Amino acid sequence: MALGSNLGNCHEHLDAAITSLRAIHAIKNLVESPRYLTDPMGPPDQPDYLNSVCEFDTQLSAHSLLDELQSIEIERGRLRPTDAASIASLRWQARTLDLDILLFGDSVIADERLTVPHAEIRSRSFVLQPLFDLNPALSIQGAGAVAELLAAANKLGIRPA
């Protein structure tokens, strides 16, 4: 799972997300990667992001986990519009907290709410680097080894927090 924030106290937002995840009874053995500062995607006139990833065991379904993540985002002030025009206009905007399911075991999911593995996982060094930090031998179904993806990725704009 990926964590990101670029509004307000970003470390506090990520810390609160980790605390909330640990409080969910169906989540166990949570480990967070080192955190990285990264250049923002989208409009350049926004603050840098603080990013990390975490891995954990869960008894939740992927969609139940997504519901939990979206609740945590909203608790931290994330705007989550429902109409198509607002969704499109906020896609690359700054946010207090962004939580994304990157992988869900070996599952492949593609529906209107969720795509797993995450659709852009192979091109995002701010996700690949912390994934590599947690598990250098990790392989992503349909994409390949994280080590190889990271070696090919543009690592400009990612630095230790």
What pLDDT is stored for residue 44 in this prediction?
75
Of 35, 76, 98, 124, catalytic: 98
- Residue 95 among the catalytic residues: yes
**Is the pLDDT reported for residue 5 higher than 80?**
yes
How far, in Å, CA of 150 to CA of 129, rounded? 7
Q: Which of 19-28, 45-54, 149-158 has the lowest mean pLDDT?
A: 149-158
Q: Which of 78, 83, 111, 122 is catalytic?
A: 78
Check if the beta carbon of residue 35 is closer than 8 Å to that of residue 161. Answer: yes
78 catalytic? Reply is yes
Biggest distance spanned by C-alpha atoms of the chain:
40
CB 18 within 8 A of CB 32: yes
pLDDT digits (tens, 9 = 90+) for 108-150: 999 999 999 999 999 899 999 999 999 999 999 989 999 999 9
Residue 151 pLDDT level (bands cut at 50, 70, 90): very high
pLDDT over 60 (residue 85): no
pLDDT at residue 91 tops 70: no
- Of the candidates 35, 76, 100, 122, the residue annotated as catalytic is 100
Q: What is the pLDDT of residues 27-37, one digit of tens each?
A: 999 999 999 99
Does the annotation mark 80 as catalytic? no
Superfamily assignment of 2-119 in CATH?
7,8-Dihydro-6-hydroxymethylpterin-pyrophosphokinase HPPK (3.30.70.560)
Question: How confident is residue 87, by pLDDT bands cut at 50, 70 and 90?
Answer: low
Domain boundaries, the chain: 2-119
Q: What is the pLDDT of residue 155?
A: 82
Degrees, nearest 5: CA angle 40-43-44: 60
Question: Which of 35, 76, 95, 122 is the catalytic position?
Answer: 95
CB burial string 37-56: b at 16+ within 10 A, e below: bbebbeeeebebbbbbbbbb
